[in-house]
């Protein structure tokens, strides 16, 4: 994946998880492009989401923010326990990981993207 595709995937996953983008009232130096901040699902400002929540590069960010929601959705869809939901997600993750070792975070992101209706 190229850099633009990675940024689009990060944005898609952030929005799926409940992060929102809001205009912070600032503009670039030419006053042509508005500046945006990310608001996390708890209402906290995340000005630099690319660094804090770079899901495609941070397994920690994936496990903290994406996996809990993915597990909830799998449990609802399959009417199963969390143990079974983790097994389902883990299997999908391993299938992606086989294709792009050693990028574990990206593989998890791609597995979740497919689960939520991506490619």
- The confidence score (pLDDT) of residue 70 equals 96
Q: Is the pTM of this model over 0.95?
A: no
Q: Identify the band that residue 19 occupies on the pLDDT scale cut at 50, 70 and 90.
A: confident
What the block records as the tokens of 97 is 């990981």
Q: What's the rounded Cα separation, in Å, for the pair 113 and 65?
A: 14
Q: Residue 33 contacts by C-beta under 8 Å, 6 or more apart in sequence? A: 27
Q: Is the confidence at residue 87, as pLDDT, over 90?
A: yes
Name the residue range of residue 42's domain. Answer: 3-115
28 upstream amide cis, omega within 30 of 0: no
Total structural domains within the chain: 1
Q: What's the rounded Cα separation, in Å, for the pair 67 and 27?
A: 34
């Amino acid at each position: 994946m190229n850099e633009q595709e990675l940024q689009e995937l990060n944005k898609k996953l952030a929005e799926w998880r409940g992060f929102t983008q809001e205009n912070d009232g600032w503009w670039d130096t030419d006053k042509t492009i508005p500046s945006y901040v990310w608001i996390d699902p708890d209402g906290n400002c995340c000005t630099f989401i690319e660094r804090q929540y770079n899901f495609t590069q941070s397994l920690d960010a994936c496990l903290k923010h994406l996996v809990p929601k993915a597990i909830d959705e799998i449990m609802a869809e399959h009417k199963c326990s969390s143990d079974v939901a983790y097994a389902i997600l883990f299997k999908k993750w391993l299938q992606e990981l086989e294709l792009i070792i050693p990028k574990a975070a990206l593989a998890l992101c791609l597995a979740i993207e497919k689960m939520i209706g991506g490619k």
